[in-house]
Amino acid sequence: MGEFEEIVLLVVAACPEEAYGVNIWEDVQQQTGRSITMSAVHATLYRLEEKGYLASTMGGATAERGGRRKRFFVLTALGVQALNDIQEMRNRLWQAIPPGKFQLIGG
């Protein structure tokens, strides 16, 4: 899983309401502080769904989008597992860093 995919997956996981294209895109930009195109977010969401990390359902018709429905994304068990795996790996790596090393470099 790439870094961007991880971020998107995390944003979906962290989203307090139902997550769909627009709020995921906004959150990703907000969290990363970078300007990201919506197409990149959409492509990633669909790719994650293909990989089985996300699942999607279509919501009800909405007024403000010309009647078009939203696609809500939720994490699958596989997605949760993947995030956990990454987090575990990170934790292991963090713990492997010798104490005091950062102070030396960061000076």
Partner 1 sequence: MKNNHTPPHWADRLLETFLSPHMLEDVQGDLHEVFYKRVSEVGLAKARREYCWAVLQYLSPYFFKALNQSSKSTIQHVIDYPSPSLLNPAMISNYVKIAWRNIAHNKSFSTINILGLALGMACCFMIILWIQDEFRVDAYHANGPQLYNVMERQFYDGKVDAGRGTPALLADELKKEFPEIVYAAGLSWEEERTFSVGDKLNKEKGRWAGADWFKMYSIPLLAGTAETALNAPSNIAISRKLAENYFGSPQAAMGKSIRIGNKEDYQVSAVFDVPLASSVTYDYLLSWKDMISHNEWLKDWGTNAPETRIQLAVDRNGNTVHPARLEAKMKSFLKSRNPSIAKSGSDIQLFLQPYQEAYLYSNFKNGYQDGGRIEYVRLFGIVAVFILLIACINFMNLATARSVKRAREVGVRKVVGAGRGWLIGQFIGEALVLTCLALLIALATVWLLLPTFNSLTEKHITFQLTDASFWIILAGMTLVTGLIAGSYPALFLSSLNPIRVLKGTVKFSSGARLFRQGLVVFQFALSLLLIIGTIIVYRQINFIQTKNLGFDREGMIYVSSEGELGTKYNTFKEQLLQMSGIQSVTKMDGTPTNGFGSTGNVQWPGKDPKASIQFQFSKVDYDFTKTLKVKVKGRDFSKTFGADSTSYLINETAARRIGYNDPIGKPLTLWGKPGTIIGVIADYHQSSMHTAIEPFIAKLGDGQIIIVRIQPGQTKQALTSLETLARQLNPKFPFRYRFADEAFQTLYRSETVVGSLANYFAFLAIFISCLGLFGLAAFTAEQRTKEIGVRKVLGASVLSVVALLSQDFIKLVLIAIVISSPIAWFGMSRWLQEYVYKIDISWWIFALAGLLAIGIALLTISFQSIKAALMNPVKSLRSE
Residues that bind partner 1 (CB under 8 A): 20-22, 25, 37-40, 42-43, 46-47, 49-50, 56, 58, 62, 64-66, 68-71
Count other Cβ atoms within 10 Å, centred on residue 28: 21
> Of the two residues 38 and 86, which places its CB atom closer to partner 1 in the complex?
38
> Of the two residues 64 and 104, which places its CB atom closer to partner 1 in the complex?
64
Count other Cβ atoms within 10 Å, centred on residue 32: 13
> Of the two residues 59 and 88, which places its CB atom closer to partner 1 in the complex?
59
| Interhelix angle 21-32/38-51, nearest 10 degrees | 110
Give the tokens for residue 85. 């795996």
CB of 28 to partner 1, least distance (A): 13
